[in-house]
Amino acid sequence: MNSLRASVSRPRTSSFCAIELSALLRKPVPGGATTLDRNNSLPPSLFLQAERQARLDNLVIKACMRRTMSRLAGWLSALGTWGTRLARNLADEWLLRSAIRELHELDDRTLADIGITRCGIEYAVRHGRPHT
């Protein structure tokens, strides 16, 4: 009985859990009865302190989870934006390279009619024709 009161009346930190109190209360005492069966085992004030501490711990855990989930959602959103931008840039690059390939298939006279030289095909595709 003294060891039970000593363990319950110790100052608790924020990691106190209501399960610890429940386990202490269900510990059998000599005579076969549990401390819950004996009505005089814990004063109500200690139980209320333990319950208040458990509620505070629950609020802290919920706040931490909200913050973690918020950051995770932000990170996933940024990852999705980055992936979309990467896919768009790859598609644009593929279109530019296919246009460059088509212009390289033309002969020099046709390129001269368009107004570009063979060495200026990539520049013309990426930046437009230079002004002459």
Residue-wise pLDDT for 81-125, tens only, equals 999 999 999 999 999 999 999 999 999 999 999 989 999 999 999
Token pair 């039970």 is found at 4
pTM exceeds cut of 0.75: no
Q: Provide the terminal-to-terminal Cα distance of the chain, rounded to the nearest Å.
A: 101
Residue-wise pLDDT for 42-86, tens only, equals 667 887 888 888 888 888 899 999 999 999 999 999 999 999 999
> Please, where are the H alpha helices in 1-132?
2-9, 18-25, 44-104, 108-114, 121-127
pLDDT of residue 121: 93
The whole-chain average pLDDT of the chain stands at 78
DSSP designation for 129: P
Instruction: Please state the rounded mean pLDDT for residues 20-40.
Output: 55
- Helix, strand or coil for residue 34? strand
Do 125 and 96 form a contact (C-beta atoms < 8 A)? Answer: yes
